[in-house]
C-alpha cells in the first residue's frame, strides 16, 4: 500500500491523515465542506506533510490503495459516500470505516466491494492512542486483514482484530457501559462529575493503562470478583436510555469542548485536548521506557 485516502477532515480524519503522512505515505484528504476545507488548509499549510487536501472525491480516491472513512456518524452520510466510491476507487482498494458505533454489516449492506470493506476504528487522539479496532466480514480474504494490520503496525499502532462484528466493537461498548454507570452515580447524587472523574483517573483508569479487565480480575482473585459481581450486578444501572444529564445538556447546546461547556466549562477549545495530549505523551513514554509488552491480538 502506498496511497491512503482519508474522507472527512474533522477531528479524526485530519489526525489520521497526519499520522500516515508522517510515515511517508501518499495521503489525500477529502473534505467537501468549504469552511472546514479552508480551516484545514490553513492548519496544514505550515506543516510540510505533503497531504493532498481536496473537495474532489474522485481526485482523492482514484489512486488510493486504502480509503479510510471519517465522515459524520450519520448512516445516510456514510452510506452515500460508500456508494459513490464504487465507481471511483481502484478494484483492489480496501475501504475502512472509522465509525464509532455502526456494525460492519449495517454499513456494508449491498456494497459491491463488501469483501474489501472493513472497520478500522481509531481512538481519539489518533496520533497518540495506539489502538485501532479492526473488523472484517465473514468472507473478507484474510490477506486483506493482514495487509491492514501490517500497515497499522508499521505506523506504530496496536491493531486488534475482532472475531465477530458487533455495534460499538469492544472499546466503545466498554466506554458506554462505564458512562452509563457514571451518569447513574451522578444523577443519584453519589458524587459530582469531578469526583467521579477523579475516582476513575486516580484508580481504575490508572491501572487500566497497565492491566486490562481480565488481568485485573486475575490479580484481584476470581473468588473475590465472583462475590463482587454477584452482589453488584443487580445494583448497576441497566437503563437503555441516553442519560438524563446528557439529554439536558444537549437541550442547552452544551456539547462539551466544541461548544465551550458540557460537564465542565471550557474557556479554550484546544486547552483540554492539549492537556490530554501532554498527559498521554508522558504515560506512553513511561510505558515505552518500562518496556511493557502490549497485547497485540490479531
Ligand atoms: N471524535 C472522536 O473522538 C471519534 C470519532 N470517531 C468516528 O469518526 C467519524 C468522524 O468523527 P469526527 O472526526 O469526530 O467528526 P467531525 O464532525 O469532527 O468530522 C467529520 C468531517 O466530515 C466532513 N463531512 C461532512 N459530510 C461529509 C461527506 N459527505 N463526505 C466527506 N466528509 C464529510 C465534515 O465537514 C467534517 O470535517 C465518526 O464516524 C465518528 O463516530 C471515531 C473515534 C473517535
Ligand atoms: O473514545 C474514542 O475515541 C472512540 O472510542 C470513539 O469512537 C468515541 O465514541 C467518540 O466517537 C466520542 O468521543
- 82-102 burial, b at 16+ Cβ within 10 Å, e below that, comes to beebeebbeeebbbbbbbbeb
Q: What is the ipTM of this complex?
A: 0.97
Grid coordinates given for 189: 447524587
Question: Three-class SS of residue 16?
Answer: helix
Does residue 295 lie within any of the structural domains?
no
Does residue 77 lie within any of the structural domains?
yes
Same domain as 102, residue 205: no
Same domain as 104, residue 78: yes
Domain-ending residue, one of 127, 143, 161: 161
Does residue 199 lie within any of the structural domains?
yes
Question: Three-class SS of residue 71?
Answer: coil
Same domain as 150, residue 34: yes
Q: Which residues constitute the domain of residue 98? A: 3-161
Closest C-alpha to ligand 2, atom 13: 124
Residue 80 Cα, ligand 1 centroid: separation in angstroms?
Answer: 14
Does residue 109 lie within any of the structural domains?
yes
Among residues 151, 134, 199, 158, the alpha carbon closest in space to that of 284 is found at 158
Catalytic residue among 172, 187, 237, 261: 172
Task: Say how far apart CA 7 and CA 85 lie, in whole Å.
Answer: 11
Same domain as 178, residue 139: no
Burial class (CB in 10 A: 0-12, 13-18, 19+), 14: buried
Domain-ending residue, one of 161, 182, 207: 161
Domain-ending residue, one of 126, 161, 196: 161
Does residue 101 lie within any of the structural domains?
yes
Does residue 293 lie within any of the structural domains?
no
Check residue 298 and give its pLDDT: 43
Same domain as 263, residue 116: no
Among residues 51, 25, 53, the alpha carbon closest in space to that of 39 is found at 53
Closest C-alpha to ligand 2, atom 11: 100
CATH number of the domain residue 246 falls in: 1.10.1040.10
Check residue 143 and give its pLDDT: 96
Cβ contacts of residue 179 below 8 Å, gap of 6+? 243
Same domain as 82, residue 43: yes
Check residue 273 and give its pLDDT: 84
Does residue 298 lie within any of the structural domains?
no
For 109-161, how does the pLDDT look when each residue is reduced to its tens digit (9 = 90+)? 999 999 999 999 999 999 999 999 999 998 899 999 999 999 999 999 999 99
Query: How confident is residue 271, by pLDDT bands cut at 50, 70 and 90?
Result: confident
Query: How confident is residue 204, by pLDDT bands cut at 50, 70 and 90?
Result: very high
Task: Say how far apart CA 116 and CA 143 lie, in whole Å.
Answer: 11
Check residue 222 and give its pLDDT: 98
Looking at the predicted structure, is the pLDDT value of residue 247 above 70?
Answer: yes
Same domain as 201, residue 64: no
Active site residue 100: yes
Task: Indicate whether residue 171 lines ligand 2 (CB < 6 A).
Answer: yes
Task: Say how far apart CA 207 and CA 220 lie, in whole Å.
Answer: 12
- Helices 171-187 and 244-251, axial angle in degrees (round to 10): 90
Ligand with the closest atom to the CA of 69:
1
Whole-structure pTM value: 0.94
Same domain as 155, residue 204: no
Same domain as 217, residue 93: no
Does residue 154 lie within any of the structural domains?
yes
Same domain as 140, residue 35: yes
Among residues 127, 140, 212, the alpha carbon closest in space to that of 174 is found at 212
Question: Three-class SS of residue 197?
Answer: helix
How many domains is the chain partitioned into structurally? 2
* Average confidence (pLDDT) over 176-190: 98
CATH number of the domain residue 79 falls in: 3.40.50.720
Same domain as 178, residue 153: no
Same domain as 107, residue 69: yes
Closest C-alpha to ligand 2, atom 6: 100
Residue predicted with more confidence, 292 or 263: 263
Amino acid at each position: 500500500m502506498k496511497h491512503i485516502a482519508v474522507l472527512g477532515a474533522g477531528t479524526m480524519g485530519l489526525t489520521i491523515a497526519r499520522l500516515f503522512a508522517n510515515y511517508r505515505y501518499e495521503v489525500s484528504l477529502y473534505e467537501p465542506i468549504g469552511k472546514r476545507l479552508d480551516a484545514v488548509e490553513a492548519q496544514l499549510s505550515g506543516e510540510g506533510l505533503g497531504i493532498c487536501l481536496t473537495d474532489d472525491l474522485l481526485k482523492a480516491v482514484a489512486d488510493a490503495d486504502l480509503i479510510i472513512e471519517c465522515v459524520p456518524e450519520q448512516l445516510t452520510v456514510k452510506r452515500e459516500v460508500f456508494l459513490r466510491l464504487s465507481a471511483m476507487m481502484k478494484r483492489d482498494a480496501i475501504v475502512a470505516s472509522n465509525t464509532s458505533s455502526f456494525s460492519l454489516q449495517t454499513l456494508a449492506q449491498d456494497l459491491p466491494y463488501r469483501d474489501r470493506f472493513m472497520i478500522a476504528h481509531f481512538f481519539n487522539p489518533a496520533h497518540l492512542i495506539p489502538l485501532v479496532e479492526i473488523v472484517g466480514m465473514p468472507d473478507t480474504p484474510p490477506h486483506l486483514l493482514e495487509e491492514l494490520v501490517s500497515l497499522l503496525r508499521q505506523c506504530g499502532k496496536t491493531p486488534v482484530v475482532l472475531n465477530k462484528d458487533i455495534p460499538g466493537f469492544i472499546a466503545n461498548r466498554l466506554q458506554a457501559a462505564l458512562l452509563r454507570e457514571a451518569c447513574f452515580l451522578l444523577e443519584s447524587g453519589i458524587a459530582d462529575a469531578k469526583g467521579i472523574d477523579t475516582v476513575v483517573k486516580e484508580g481504575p483508569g490508572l491501572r487500566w493503562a497497565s492491566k486490562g479487565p481480565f488481568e485485573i480480575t486475575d490479580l484481584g482473585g476470581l473468588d473475590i470478583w465472583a462475590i463482587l459481581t454477584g452482589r453488584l450486578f443487580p445494583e448497576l444501572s441497566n437503563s437503555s436510555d441516553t442519560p438524563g444529564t446528557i439529554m439536558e445538556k444537549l437541550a442547552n447546546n452544551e456539547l462539551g469542548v466544541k461548544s465551550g461547556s458540557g460537564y465542565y466549562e471550557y474557556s479554550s477549545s484546544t486547552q483540554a485536548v492539549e492537556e490530554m495530549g501532554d498527559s498521554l505523551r508522558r504515560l506512553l513514554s513511561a510505558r515505552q521506557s518500562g518496556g511493557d509488552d502490549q497485547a497485540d491480538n490479531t
